[in-house]
Chain A
Amino acid sequence: MNVFHYPQSDINTDLLFPGKYTYTCSTGPEIIEHLLEDLDPSFAGAVQSGDIIIAGENFGCGSSREHPSLGLKHIGLKAVIASSFARIFYRSAINQGLLLIQSPEAVEYYSEGDVVAVDPAAGEVRVGDRVFSFPSLPDEMLEILKDGGLLSHIKKQYTRGDGV
């Protein structure tokens, strides 16, 4: 498990996925090649399923493009832990089924080389020798996340015959 640490605030969606590719790359495999291209060109080649990103305030600000959340979910990123998230990105991550953990304390405590482990069910994140709890999502959002994203959630409702 690797931790990618980007401590700066206001990492925007252009840094996470450049706008010039937004209408030519829409699927997971197309997107992951350019993820974080203008922030950390080595990320796309290095990231693996189960990895974690740790970031500062207002992570994911800017555009409503979903390529960052979709791409990170496609890779199998375990979670993004940040001091705070921009709202459209936060929504988008729920829609993609990507786990976001808002824990300024965990971000503050982290230093390079610390082992980070996440237990979403317990609402806990372990950083080195310390455990931080994070608030659970509201039920409505938790259900979407549990179903693997908004469209899987809707599909499930359709097949259950609940209607929508």
Chain B
Amino acid sequence: MGETFAIKILSRAAGKKVREGEILFVEPDYILTHDNSSAIIGKFESTVPGGRVKYPGKIAIVLDHVIPAASSKHAAGHKKVREFVKEQGIVNFYDIGTGVCHQVMPEMGLVKPGSIVVGSDSHTCTYGAFNCFATGIDRTEAAGIWITGRTWFKVPQTINIELTGAFTAGVSAKDLILTIVGDVGAGGANYMAVEFNGPAVGGLRMCDRMTIANMGIEMGAKIAAFPANSETSKYFENMDLDITDAVWSDFDAEYARTLEYDLENIVPVIACPHQVDNVVPVEKMAGLKIDQILLGTCTNGRVEDLKAAADILRGEKIHSSVRMLVAPASRMEYLKAMKMGIVQDLVSAGAVVLPPGCGPCLGAHQGALAPGEICLSTANRNFKGRMGEKEAEIYLSSPETAAVSALTGEVRDPREVLR
């Protein structure tokens, strides 16, 4: 039997053949942290007072979660991070406005195909789009890796997801991953790796792969990975990066489970409150009145996502009963969207553009919900209380569904407009 991506990449890191279930210690190539770095600094300093981080060059810090600072307490946290990176010689520091960490990491060339990345954020799994073994850890573990340079992994079993066909009009990567999460369930891939295989994978754009890998954690997955191919090479062509160290599973790799999806059969779907795996076709929820729309975040805040919405909203007006917030995933994506006139289209239609960052996704600022309000969001989580109010409801959809729904203030199937 052949080997999975997880076995191969962890074997290489461990310098020996590993098997599923084995525990091994490895040195990750990068350790990402964000606004939570200020708390991690506190842990670091109390563990090794006056100490130095082991590998300053492997640490990446992005301020993105509550930016600009929403209070002096948040500001003090940011200040502490800025001082620490100077003291410790951490060069991969990206201050407010650069973007959401999961967009910034690839943009800065820190997600080399075939590398291992950990981050104190559960959506670190996004870099699986670039053929990384990438997974989330807590703050304490990040502090530990700053000190020791290493951590442990249990070699996971793998779920294989075979993709064939092509999306039909009005359907996109978000609909696919929501459908998969709905089928597998919130814990269905717990402790496991997920691989995407099949003839349709090559045709998925990097933005699609990122949307899909980003939500691997919503089914509990440790990692969600794609093979590297010409799309991956193209993404990195203006950086000092290539795919020569990429790793992929053997054709006869042994999987715990294989699921098959024909993209042709995927329809627009929506995840209903308060779980991401509570997925139904959009047409079932048609007519539901919404108060707020959030377009953006690390799941769907790239220029392709903004364009998909702008193509629907161009020359139109957002319905007066709904407010629409747009959070570009990064400054680079924002600039691309400006150059293409997309920002002009969205703002003309009535949208409010937020700084590149996490925006209201985690409920800390910028567009928190009132009790009883309903938000349609292109983000990755609809947990109770997620956007700051437990008596509010969050529905998750694609950018296309969000944009057509903005026109009427009610949930609508994008295929009514896109044919």
Contact = CB atoms under 8 A, between A and B. Distances in A.
B190 A58 contact: yes
Given A20-B388, A58-B190, A91 B138 contact: yes
B362 A22 contact: yes
A123 interface: no
B141 A87 contact: no
A56 to B, nearest CB: 10
B274 to A, nearest CB: 8
Contact of B138 (A38, A95, A138, A155): A95
A69 interface: yes
Interface stretch (A42-50, A60-68, A108-116, A125-133): A60-68
Given A138-B23, A150-B141, A87 B383 contact: no
A150 B74 contact: no
Contact of B190 (A65, A69, A86, A92): A86
Interface residues of A, number: 42
A128 B386 CA distance: 37
Interface string A1-39: 000000001101011001110111010000000000110
Interface in B142-194: 143-144, 147-149, 152, 154, 186-187, 190-191
Contacts of B187: 9-10, 57-58, 61, 84, 86
Contacts of A154: 47-48, 144, 147-148
A57 B381 CA distance: 19
A64 B35 CA distance: 13
Interface string A75-92: 000000000101110011
A38 B385 contact: yes
A118 to B, nearest CB: 23
Interface string B361-387: 011100010000000000001011110
Nearest to B147: A154
Given A151-B143, A154-B47, A154-B147, A62 B364 contact: no
Nearest to B44: A151
A142 B231 CA distance: 43
Nearest to A18: B385
Interface in A128-164: 138, 140-141, 149-151, 154-155, 158, 164
Interface residues of B, number: 56
A151 B43 contact: yes
A69 B48 contact: no
A22 B47 contact: no
Interface stretch (B65-73, B235-243, B289-297, B344-352): B65-73
Interface string B23-35: 1010000000001
A154 B48 CA distance: 9
Given A64-B121, A87-B190, A91-B137, 13 more contacts: A20-B364, A22-B364, A24-B71, A37-B385, A38-B390, A57-B187, A58-B187, A62-B122, A63-B121, A63-B122, A64-B136, A65-B139, A154-B48
Interchain residue pairs A-B with the least CB separation, the first 3: A58-B187, A66-B138, A92-B138
Interface of A: 9-10, 12, 14-15, 18-20, 22-24, 26, 37-38, 57-58, 61-66, 69-70, 84, 86-88, 91-92, 95-96, 138, 140-141, 149-151, 154-155, 158, 164
